[in-house]
Amino acid sequence: MRGLRFLKRWRGFTLIELLVVIAIIAVLIGLLLPAVQKVREAAARAQCTNNLKQLSLACHNCNDTYSELPPMYGSPVAAGPFKGQSGVALFWLLPFIEQDALFKSANGNSYSAPGNVHTKPVKAFVCPSDPNYGTGLLDPGNPWALGCYSCNFQAFGQAGTTSWEGANKIGSSFTDGTSNTILFAERYARCADRATLWAHGGWDPPWMAMFAYSNFNKFQIQPNPYNTACDKTVAHSATPPPCKWAWPTAASAACRPASPSRPGRRSVPPSPATSPARTGKAPARDRHGRPGRCA
Query: 155, 88, 90: which is closest to 122 by C-alpha?
Result: 90
Q: Let me know if residue 182 belongs to a domain.
A: yes
Say if CB 207 and CB 195 are below 8 A apart: yes
Instruction: Specify the pTM.
Output: 0.69
Q: What is the pLDDT of residue 69?
A: 92
Q: Quick check: is 273 in a domain?
A: no
- Residue 273's pLDDT is what? 46
From 240, 159, 161, 179, select the one nearest 56 (Cα to Cα): 179
- 3-class DSSP state of 97: helix
Which of 59-68, 85-94, 189-198, 235-244 bottoms out in mean pLDDT, i.e. has the lowest?
A: 235-244
CA–CA distance from 117 to each of 5, 61, 97, 107, 234 (Å)?
82, 22, 15, 10, 24
| Domain count along the chain | 1
237 phi and psi angles, rounded to 5 deg? -135, 130
Q: Which domain holds residue 144?
A: 51-246
CB-based contacts of 198, cutoff 8 Å, min separation 6: 88, 90, 122, 125, 145, 146, 147, 149, 209
Instruction: Tell me if 76 is assigned to some domain.
Output: yes
Nearest C-alpha neighbor of 251 from the set 194, 177, 162, 148? 177
**β-bridge partners, 145:** 137
Tell me whether residue 263 is in a domain. no
Count of CA atoms in the C-beta half-sphere (13 A) of 186: 33
Distance CA 41, CA 61 (A): 30
Is residue 20 assigned to a domain? no
Residue 134 lies in a domain: yes
Lowest mean pLDDT among 64-78, 175-189, 237-251, 274-288: 274-288
- Round the average pLDDT of the chain to a whole number and report it: 75
In the predicted model, is pLDDT for residue 103 greater than 70? yes
- Identify whether 171 is part of a domain: yes
Amino acid of residue 133: Y
Contact 223, 32 (CB under 8 A): no
Residue 147, SS3 per DSSP: coil
Cα–Cα distance list, 195 to 6, 108, 121, 142, 146 (Å): 76, 24, 14, 12, 7
Residue 240 above 70 pLDDT? no
Q: Confidence band (pLDDT; 50, 70, 90) for 244? A: very low
Q: Pseudo-torsion of CA 178, 236, 143, 81, nearest 10°?
A: -10
Instruction: State the Cα–Cα distance between residues 229 and 223, nearest whole angstrom.
Output: 6
Task: Give a yes or no: residue 224 inside a domain.
Answer: yes
How do residues 111-154 score in pLDDT, each as one tens digit? 887 888 999 999 999 998 888 888 889 888 889 999 999 998 88
